Chain A
Amino acid sequence: MTAPLSLASLAPEPDPRPVLIRIEGLNKHYGAYHVLHDINLQVREGERIVLCGPSGSGKSTLIRCINRLEVAQQGSIQVDGTDLAASTRQAAQIRSEIGMVFQHFNLFPHMTVLDNCLLAPTSVRGLSRKDAEERARMYLCKVGIESQAHKYPSQLSGGQQQRVAIARALCMKPRIMLFDEPTSALDPEMVAEVLDVLVQLAGTGMTMLCVTHEMGFARQVAERVLFLEGGQIIEDSPPQVFFNQPKTERAKGFLAQILH
């Protein structure tokens, strides 16, 4: 006997992946400025999310909160069921499994590319230098920069530096990668090489949250696009919906401006 066609079967299938990041009621103020306003967000394991919105909308602050570079006054962020703010071993462990890539790379300028990649794995994870170096060379190879391992960051181009920064974060074997406008400080001809690395990383099933205005990248890689405005997430849609039928006027205006 075949099951009768019901409305339920027409609804999108529930995502089987477990929720990895659960943000509830997040509020953050800088003095009188309310930068994050009641943010609720769930990110599933392996999900690839692009955050966009006008400057000052709170998108960078939101991902910086996930990494505890900023601390919100209210609300909670749980990763894998553990509150990030807790002072337990487990929370510390989970915090060390969140990698971050910055707009301005923030490589350590006095260390070679290789040493940049070795510092955290040896000092935080307690890896031997040999193991850490093996791992570092593997990731440097993946981002296409292995031949520059002995150089200092200042000897590399912006695109190369950003790829090193990605490799450095990956050397900690993070479960979540946060990107804060990773291509905004790059010369136009170097954007592609960094985006290629991000696309490749997305293919590995990494959970990614990326603040970017590269809409081509968002279309290609993101599963969800979050549009922020005034510290609130005002759209949360798959890219084809977001780009073709944005729900809010604000998002329409934003897209019109950046897509020309």
Chain B
Amino acid sequence: MNVEQWLAVVLDPDLLERYGPRFVDGLLVTAKLVAISFTLGAVLGLLLALARLSRSQLLQRMAAGYVYFFRGSPLLAQLFLLYYGLGSLKGFWQDVGLWWFFREAWFCTLLAFTLNTAAYQAEIFRGSLMAVAPGQYEAARALNLKRSTTFFKVILPQSLLVAIGPLGNELILMIKASAIASLVTIYDLMGVTKLAFSRSFDFQIYLWAAVLYLVIVELVRRLLKHLEARLGRHLN
């Protein structure tokens, strides 16, 4: 088999010309979906972690219940629950003026992903906040730092260093799990793959998708390594 024949099996130029642009679009949709939901999930997750570590029993229980539910059920089920379940209450959402949101698969997916990753990130943040030495809180109190200064300047930077490894792990899992979005009509990377395959019946399309997911994950891995080195520069 010469190079041309081999290429036709894994990267057929005709196929590439026909579906290449769609793959670029799909890639962008996946990136946007994961970036937005992961960021919003981080904010929500941090708040949940603080709630779990707070002195209020009520906040603790509510946050624990949230984490229990969203970690304990499959992401796919959560997405379907939101999109098909809540989406079926058209009249109600129209009354409260939120139908524009629950009508769209895109928003439902973003919401489901955000709520789901927030639960995982809450546990990561909780662990990393608890990993900061108690002496750091004492030193901050002895210097009479305000609670906000203590949290943002002293505690959070140190706990982020602990969190970044598991957070990267969660991000990578999210990137791969985002393929689920293709099941509710989103043309993300997996969505365009399915579309291209259903038209061409050429197996190499799935190979492309696999390689592209691999490339994103590798990029993220390198980025995180760089970030970790930066955050931990005081340890060298």
Contact = CB atoms under 8 A, between A and B. Distances in A.
Chains A and B come from one and the same complex = yes
B54 interface: no
A152 B135 contact: no
B147 to A, nearest CB: 11
Given A69-B141, A120-B145, A154 B135 contact: no
A106 B135 CA distance: 6
A69 B134 CA distance: 12
A123 B141 contact: no
B234 interface: yes
A168 interface: yes
Interface in A107-146: 107-112, 119-120, 123-124
A112 B234 CA distance: 8
A104 interface: yes
B234 A109 contact: yes
A120 B141 CA distance: 10
A209 to B, nearest CB: 13
Contacts of B133: 106
Contact of B136 (A95, A108, A152): A108
Interface in A139-159: 152-154
Given A110-B161, A124-B143, A119 B138 contact: no
Nearest to B149: A123
Nearest to A124: B144
Interface in A164-189: 168-169, 172
Range of interface residues on B (Cβ < 8 Å): 20 to 34
Interface in A231-250: none
B157 interface: yes
Interface string B153-187: 11001100100000000000000000000000000
A107 B141 CA distance: 13
Interface string A81-112: 00000000000100110111010101111111
Contact of B142 (A67, A92, A104): A67
Contacts of A100: 142
Contacts of A92: 144
A107 B146 CA distance: 17
B234 A106 contact: no
A106 B235 CA distance: 15
B58 interface: no
B139 interface: yes
Nearest to A121: B143
A68 B143 CA distance: 11
B142 to A, nearest CB: 4
A104 B135 contact: yes
Nearest to A151: B234
A106 B149 contact: no
A106 B145 contact: no
A102 B138 contact: yes
Contact of B153 (A67, A95, A99, A119): A119
Contact of B143 (A110, A112, A168): A168
A168 B143 CA distance: 9
Interface of A: 67-69, 92, 95-96, 98-100, 102, 104, 106-112, 119-120, 123-124, 152-154, 168-169, 172
Given A119-B145, A123-B153, 14 more contacts: A69-B142, A92-B144, A102-B135, A102-B139, A106-B136, A110-B234, A119-B154, A120-B143, A120-B145, A124-B143, A124-B145, A124-B149, A153-B234, A154-B235
Q: What 3 A-B pairs are tightest by C-beta distance, nearest first?
A: A106-B139, A152-B234, A120-B143
24 contacts: A67-B141, A67-B142, A98-B142, A99-B142, A102-B135, A106-B135, A106-B136, A107-B139, A108-B154, A110-B157, A110-B231, A110-B234, A112-B234, A119-B143, A119-B149, A119-B154, A120-B145, A123-B145, A123-B146, A123-B149, A152-B234, A153-B234, A168-B143, A169-B142
